[in-house]
Amino acid sequence: MLVFSACVPSQQITPALTVTATLTSTPTKIPVSLLPTTTPAPSAEQAFQEFKKSRVYQDALQNYLNYFWLKPENIQVQMQAMTLADQEYRFAVVTPDQSQLTEAQRKYADIYGPAPLFYAVQDKTTGVWNWDKEPPLRAFAKELGIKVGALGDRATYQEADMKKQFNIAIVSFINWQINEPRPRSLDMTDPDQIIPQLLSNEQEVISGHLITEGEYPGWLKEGNYSQIELEEIVRKHVDDVMTRYKGRVNYWIVLNEFHPYDLAHGWYNDYLAERLGWEKLINIAFDEARKNDPDAVLIVNDFCNYFYGDINNGNKLTQDVEVIRALQQQGMSNLAIGMQMHINQGQDHMIPNSDQLSRAIKTYRDLGVEVYITEMDVNISPQSRNGSVPFRDNDRYLQQAEIYYQILGTYLANTEEQKNRIIVSWDFRDARSWEVALGFEDPAPLLFDDQGNPKPAYYAYLRVLYSAVVNSP
């Protein structure tokens, strides 16, 4: 909700002076000059004028101008009062002068609209407005009733920007081969530490994968277990993890990167699916999950599942639809599809346009399941690997921002009726991107650079959320 108002300065009480008077029959009159006085706290506007003199403001503004190829005279900065989820804010909204954009900049006109670069909240005790850079995405997300987050390593969850920017996280340390390195030997040390920390920061939790071929422990595949024993092992694994965090984790990635058609044609291997049959495996896993927590959202997570295509060529969307229908035939409900959204990692990970993404979301929504973005990143490496598009131009950060803007905007526009809307990226700082380990040269796929400075992708993300709030009824 938007609130435009004049700022009424709060009153700050200065400490009273101690006055000693000799008791007499006539009350002592304290001089007026010694009585407590009140000093108005600076208004938000006055505090902003002081903040503009700081290095924090100057460096952040210059970072924005450099990335967007702008000069100070090309922008307007205006104060805006907003109430987001019952918290009052002041924003310094930067609007580039559209008439001054070059032809190269006009290609990305969407990301050159108004965006709040700085924000302030008022100290309830002193009345002082404290200004800072990089408005929290989570503030706009909360107002919209959506969840934005990241997953990553231990450093990710500890970082101040993680706490400031996001209101949900995927705990990647829920991983079968890590959690049960030996049969019946459960080690949940990392999630036991991370989950309470996230919850204390008012961040909801999505589990890592319960069933995914790449995380089966070695003892499972080498144990020569019978089918009955394998079913018991799968059920126990799901039960052990979900029981431990029931009531604290409400979203579970039960199945990750599971492709029945590819299995049938030998295009990839899944030990449990081959031993139990794919339908039996998913029924066992989801049945145990549902018994454990009837209210939890159970997620089928996959890559490249936003393109239509021929199942004979391994189309992921078609295979995920088959998995969802098989689960629903067994009475499963409260299901969701996770779109990993790893953009431009190779010829199978291309960039969906708005029509393609809208059609895919509608397909899943027509099945009665929610759709989430679960691992988003946008590779802009100048190097082509496995058919990826090389980004060699000096506007690659603007191209990346435009992709974020279009995908996130399309997602929000097509999921308005969902109870839960979730957007998660694979970490948020480029230096920790897993794509470096994949061998890409300078993929720079995330919202913040190696040093933690916001990139155009962050401002595009922020602009999508800000515009959604401004334009909400």
Query: 110, 133, 156 — which closes off a domain?
Result: 133
pLDDT at residue 438 in the model: 86
The answer to whether position 457 is within a domain reads yes
Which residue, among 407, 439, 441, 435, has the nearest Cα to 423 in the 3D structure? 407
Exposure letters 337-367 (e unless 16+ CB within 10 A, then b) = bbbbbbbbbbeebbebeeebbbebbebbbee
pLDDT at residue 389 in the model: 87
**Is the Cβ–Cβ distance between 298 and 332 less than 8 Å?**
yes
Residues 145 and 120 in one domain: no
The answer to whether position 21 is within a domain reads no
Residues 321 and 355 in one domain: yes
Residue range(s) defining the domain that contains residue 89: 40-133
User: What CATH number corresponds to the domain at position 345?
Assistant: 3.20.20.80
3-state secondary structure of 372: strand
Residues (pLDDT < 50) of the chain are: 1-28, 30, 32-33, 35
pLDDT at residue 19 in the model: 35
Counted domains in the chain: 2
pLDDT at residue 37 in the model: 53
Residues 181 and 100 in one domain: no
The answer to whether position 432 is within a domain reads yes
The answer to whether position 11 is within a domain reads no
Residues 120 and 157 in one domain: no
Residues 319 and 250 in one domain: yes
Residues 266 and 203 in one domain: yes
Residues 170 and 263 in one domain: yes
The answer to whether position 30 is within a domain reads no
Residues 66 and 184 in one domain: no
Q: Give the Cα-Cα-Cα angle 331, 205, 90 (nearest 5 degrees).
A: 125
DSSP label at residue 461: H
> How far apart are the C-alpha atoms of 337 and 320, rounded to whole Å?
8
Query: 106, 133, 160 — which closes off a domain?
Result: 133
The answer to whether position 14 is within a domain reads no
> How far apart are the C-alpha atoms of 322 and 264, rounded to whole Å?
13
> How far apart are the C-alpha atoms of 348 and 303, rounded to whole Å?
9
Q: What are the distances in angstroms from CA 123 to CA 9, 12, 116, 170, 212? A: 12, 11, 20, 32, 47
Residues 91 and 177 in one domain: no
The answer to whether position 179 is within a domain reads yes
pLDDT at residue 31 in the model: 52
Residues 56 and 178 in one domain: no
Strand positions, DSSP E, 107-222: 115-122, 129-133, 147-151, 168-171, 204-211
pLDDT at residue 79 in the model: 96
> How far apart are the C-alpha atoms of 230 and 272, rounded to whole Å?
8
* Per-residue pLDDT tens over the stretch 392-449: 888 999 999 999 999 999 999 999 999 999 999 999 999 999 998 888 999 999 999 9
The answer to whether position 4 is within a domain reads no
Q: Give the Cα-Cα-Cα angle 94, 96, 101 (nearest 5 degrees).
A: 165
Which residue, among 111, 46, 24, has the nearest Cα to 467 in the 3D structure? 111
Query: 133, 163, 189 — which closes off a domain?
Result: 133
Residues 294 and 243 in one domain: yes
Residues 336 and 457 in one domain: yes
